[in-house]
Every structure is written in C-alpha cells, then in structure tokens.
Amino acid sequence: MGRPLRACISIPALQHNLHRVRALAPGARVWAVVKANAYGHGLLNAMEAFGAADGLALLEFDAAQRLREAGWQRPILMLEGPFEPADVALARRLRLTLALHDPVHLDWLAMHPALGEAERLDVWLKFNSGMNRLGMRAPVLRDAYDALAAAPLAAQAAAPLAAQVRLLAAQVRSVGLLTHFANADVPGGIDQAWPAFVAATQGLAGPRSASNSAAIIDHPATHGDWVRPGVMLYGATPFASRDAAGLGLRPAMRLDSELIAIQTVSAGESVGYGSLFTADAAMRIGVVACGYADGYPRHAPVGTPVIVDGRRVRLAGRVAMDMLMVDLTDAPGARVGSPVQLWGDRLPIDEVAQAAGTIGYELMCALAPRVPVVVERSDG
C-alpha cells in the first residue's frame, strides 16, 4: 500500500452540490467553474460529476484542450480571456467562449479573422463593477459592445470605421455581459456593484452573468441568465461565518491518513521543529503521515483540529514537510495504524482553514501531486 495518505474525491457529493446550485438558481444556466484542476479535485473528475452543467468555466487553455479531448462538447468559458493573440486562433479551433476584459482583445480578434460561420466565437464582455481587477469601465464596455454587435454605430460611422466595425462583428456569434463581485459574501457587498452593472449594460442585448457562489446563495436578483458557482460545488462555504452543511452542501474531498508512530512524552518535553509545543503533563503524541509537502498548511497552529480514531484531537507542534503531530489525550484508544482525517465529512475543510488563518479554497487547491487520489463513484 505504501504511505497511508490519500485524497478521496466523491463524485456523488459534487453532483449533489451542482443540484443545490440548480435549486437555488432554477431560472439560470450554470457555468461550473473548474479552474485550478477543479479546485484540486481533478479536472476529469469534475467533468464527470458536472455532466449536467450547461458549461464549464476555467482559465487554462491546456486544460480546456484536455476537456475537449476527453469528450466535453458543451460550452467552455475562458474566464481570463486570451493572454496573447494566438489564443484567439486556439479558441476558434477548440470552440471556446472568451471573456474579453480589455479593448486590446478586440484588436486580437481582428488579427485572427473567422474563415466562416463555424469559426465565429461566443464572447462575454466583462464589466469592472468595483473589484478593479479585470473588466472595462462603462464607456469602454459600451464601445466594445457596439463594435462587436455591429450596433447602429456601423451605419453612422464614416466608411473606414464602418468597415472596421463590420470586420469585428463578423468575428463573433454572440455577445454576453458579465461581471464579478468583490464582496458578495458580506452584507451590503453588492449594493454598489450590482446597480453599476445594471446601469452599464442598460439597453444592451445579450445574456448576463454576475453570480458567484455567494451571490447564488444570498442575492437571487443577480442570477440573470448564467450563474458561475465555484467553491460551493466542492462543498465549501463562500462565507466566513456560515458553514457548508448549513447551506446544504456536501464535502467532495477527504484527506485521510494514519498514525505511523506514537511517542510518550513527559511534562516539560517539547515536540517538533522549533519546540513550539511543550507538554504540560505526560501525554501520548501521534505522528501522522501528512505534511506541508502534501498540501497541509505549515502555518497551522497548535490546536488546529484533526480527527484520529473517530475522535477530535489537536495539532501539537509545527507541521513538517512529511509529518505532523497530534495530542492523543482525547483519543486514548489510538494506536499505530489508527485512521486519521485531516479534513472531509467528519471535519469541515473550512474549519481547518479558519484555524490556520486561511480559506478552504486554498487548502483544496494546495493538494500536492504526490498525494494519491481515490475517486468514489457511489455513496456506499
């Protein structure tokens, strides 16, 4: 068997979470976000689990090609758009949908013209609603829309400009409008962003997409034509103070290991690098086969919860590259070989993340390539 550390990915849990999105946003189509190797869950595992989604969304062009080669035929949205002009040609070949967030992208479209109707692209113009990361301000967005949609500007413009507009309009099949909320997870967090998006796109035809996981849950007025769930699909919460179970979500990843050694220490003895943990009484210390080289956060402090032999115990000492140590006082029956859960169905990943001063997203995405992955296709 080798080293007893493995990540278990539940296809039924992923499917359940997609169904939960459908229940919360019944009138919208769903882009299932699968960037960063599906938040660490495996790109092809996500493709299997999200077969009922209307499209997949990510930003890595090599991953999009893998999805096409694996048989995904529905839309694929490239959330960060093209990174260079050649990506436009690749998008045409792979039938990808591009988010366009900078006017230079229109120039790149014209550099790689469509050779026929089949090569026209579906595109989404991205509006900067306050995050100030990606996206166009309202006047620029509307100019880009006019060019791509061949709006009345084409008829009113001087001949050279009209020809340029017609060239751009011939590159696209459809134009959608999207934005991304910076603060949908906090009260009042969309009070400015949502009206700004509505005003910026007023009178423009085309589908809308604004809702991330937090907005899907808390802001139904923003659902529009397409929603873009991310972390909720994987069973973690987008909120700081509301747990995933209470939102009707199921954890899709378990990180399981075993105790590989037990040390008995006396009062005053220390454990691990830097002697960060000192026993205040005689106790047993369990050694777990998992460390920061596996994706467990090195900065997790003493007291971070771990499940050993079905009992909740606490991290003791600094996380090392390949091992971490736990105080077995509350798991008196634990022995070498006892099962350990670092996060999963018995210990929410968000609770571990909060103890470590981070978010569940980071722990999922940090899962190291050396950790074996087991895919579970039933709940039995």
- How far, in Å, CA of 252 to CA of 378, rounded? 12
- How far, in Å, CA of 353 to CA of 296, rounded? 10
Q: Checking DSSP bridges between strand 208-211 and strand 226-227, what pairing results, if any?
A: parallel
- How far, in Å, CA of 23 to CA of 31, rounded? 15
Look at residues 303, 379, 376 and name the one whose alpha carbon lies nearest to residue 9: 376
- How far, in Å, CA of 336 to CA of 321, rounded? 20
- How far, in Å, CA of 226 to CA of 318, rounded? 44
From 35, 39, 145, 292, the catalytic residue: 35
The question of whether 126 is a catalytic residue gets the answer no
- How far, in Å, CA of 199 to CA of 196, rounded? 5
- How far, in Å, CA of 307 to CA of 326, rounded? 10
Query: What backbone torsions phi and psi does residue 36 show, to the nearest 5 degrees?
Result: 55, 50
- How far, in Å, CA of 7 to CA of 186, rounded? 31
Query: What backbone torsions phi and psi does residue 374 show, to the nearest 5 degrees?
Result: -110, 130
Look at residues 97, 198, 84, 204 and name the one whose alpha carbon lies nearest to residue 143: 204
CB 78 within 8 A of CB 91: yes
The question of whether 273 is a catalytic residue gets the answer yes
With the C-alpha atoms ordered 109, 112, 116, 119, is the resulting torsion angle positive or negative?
negative
Q: Which residues, other chains included, contact 140 with Cβ-Cβ below 8 Å and sequence gap of 6+?
A: 103
From 39, 273, 296, 361, the catalytic residue: 273
Catalytic site positions: 35, 273
